[in-house]
Amino acid sequence: MLNNKEKTVQNEEFSGRVSDENLRVLTGYNMKRAFNAVQADLLQTLRPFGLRMITYSALVLIVDNPGLRQSHLSVALAVERPNLVVIIDELERRDLIARERLMSDRRAYGLRATLEGRQLYEKAVRAVTEHETKIFGNMDGVTVKQLIAELREIEIKAKGNVK
Amino acid sequence: MLNNKEKTVQNEEFSGRVSDENLRVLTGYNMKRAFNAVQADLLQTLRPFGLRMITYSALVLIVDNPGLRQSHLSVALAVERPNLVVIIDELERRDLIARERLMSDRRAYGLRATLEGRQLYEKAVRAVTEHETKIFGNMDGVTVKQLIAELREIEIKAKGNVK
DNA sequence: TATTGTTATACTCTATAACTATA
DNA sequence: TATAGTTATAGAGTATAACAATA
């Protein structure tokens, strides 16, 4: 950005370690940094299965809730309907799930996992469970159960404030 | 996706609440949901100042580390150098910070907040502190200090596994 | 009229390659 | 040769408006 306001002054150059104290005191900042690192590891965990966090999540909910509609799924995953379409497209193209027109409401689809989808689900769930144990097992002074309870409390509290 | 494989079967339609049990047992999934909610609230908090999470973070580090280089900042914020450029552009265009060519190395810039930048910093830090208290104050059975320690432990552990 | 799934689109965030000017 | 900042670009992720089919 060489603009006309540039100046070259008698400057003491910055030296030493960057102080991020005023960011590290923020829970939100630490949540972002921690989640980014966790997600990177999860992505590697899911790569052999051709899945990402969102396609994994969608597959799990479809296997666990056979026949659910895309609209239900989009609410459950907090994904906008238009964005869910391409996710479902991807899973369907790989024959992991199928869209079935509902007789009761021919506007909607019921989503079901195929045998192949359920088999991939089994394998992926095992890998994700190992990934979770690797990262969240043996935490100092807190159990996974407690940690999840804290996160859910935070989610509810933050949502209550915005919405 | 009306393709030739579509079928309309005698399907029991899904009914009842969607079970996301197998996602909610995952710490990573809860981290994502919680962080999304926190970030949405933070965004509202920062809106009056014309800041987002990333521009806020950059401003804080520049105020706290006068003269630091963009390369240092990009490492500290875990943002790629090219992506930091537009962030710095934005803060400079608003005269919140200034790029100063370093005499010691004329390839680099030292970044400094202007008076206006420091004044906005003061106000924004107060607002963010209130936002944090609102969401993370009075948590059940855990202090903010403990929560941050847990998150940093997770970040380090997950990074150690990937990198 | 309203809803389901869809298309089109746009905006943010992120990642990589290649350029320039300096070292 | 290597480094700092930059440009260009491409890929995710996310959000909104509007449409066709159906309710």
Q: What is the pLDDT of residues B2-21, one digit of tens each?
A: 334 444 444 566 767 999 99
Residue contact B14–A125, C-beta within 8 A: no
pLDDT given for residue A160 in this prediction: 85
pLDDT given for residue B68 in this prediction: 97
Using one digit for the tens of pLDDT, what is the confidence trace for A26-82? 999 999 999 999 999 999 999 999 999 999 999 999 999 999 999 999 999 999 999
- A81: nt with nearest C1' to CA: C5
User: Does the pLDDT at position B161 exceed 80?
Assistant: no
pTM (2 decimals)?
A: 0.92
Distance CA B97, CA B99 (A): 7
With H, G, I as helix, E, B as strand and everything else as coil, classify residue B104.
coil
A86: contact with B, CB 8 A cutoff: no
User: Does the pLDDT at position A14 exceed 80?
Assistant: no
The chain-wide mean pLDDT, for chain B, equals: 92
Give, as one character, the DSSP assignment of residue B99: E
pLDDT given for residue B3 in this prediction: 38
The chain-wide mean pLDDT, for chain A, equals: 92
Site of tokens 């969401």: B135
Give, as one character, the DSSP assignment of residue A143: -
Question: What is the SS3 assignment for B29-86?
Answer: HHHHHHHHHHHHHHHHHHHHHCCCHHHHHHHHHHHHCCCECHHHHHHHHCCCHHHHHH
Which residues in chain A touch residue B104, judged by CB atoms under 8 angstroms apart? Answer: 13
Helix (H) or strand (E) holding A115: helix A115-136
Using one digit for the tens of pLDDT, what is the confidence trace for B18-38? 999 999 999 999 999 999 999
Compute the average pLDDT of residues B152-158. 96
Residue contact A64–B22, C-beta within 8 A: yes
Q: A141 pLDDT band (50/70/90 cuts)?
A: confident
Task: For residue B154, give the nearest of B57, B53, B30 by alpha carbon.
Answer: B30
* A106 Cβ contacts chain D strand, under 7 Å: yes
Residue contact A75–B18, C-beta within 8 A: yes
Asked whether the beta carbons of B99 and B92 are under 8 A apart, the reply is yes
Give, as one character, the DSSP assignment of residue A97: E
Query: What distance, in Å, lies between the first and last C-alpha atoms of chain A?
Result: 39
Give percent of chain A with pLDDT exceeding 90. Answer: 85
Considering only residues 88-147 of protein chain B, which place a Cβ less than 7 A from any atom of strand D? Answer: 88, 99, 105, 107-109
Strand pairing partners for B66?
none
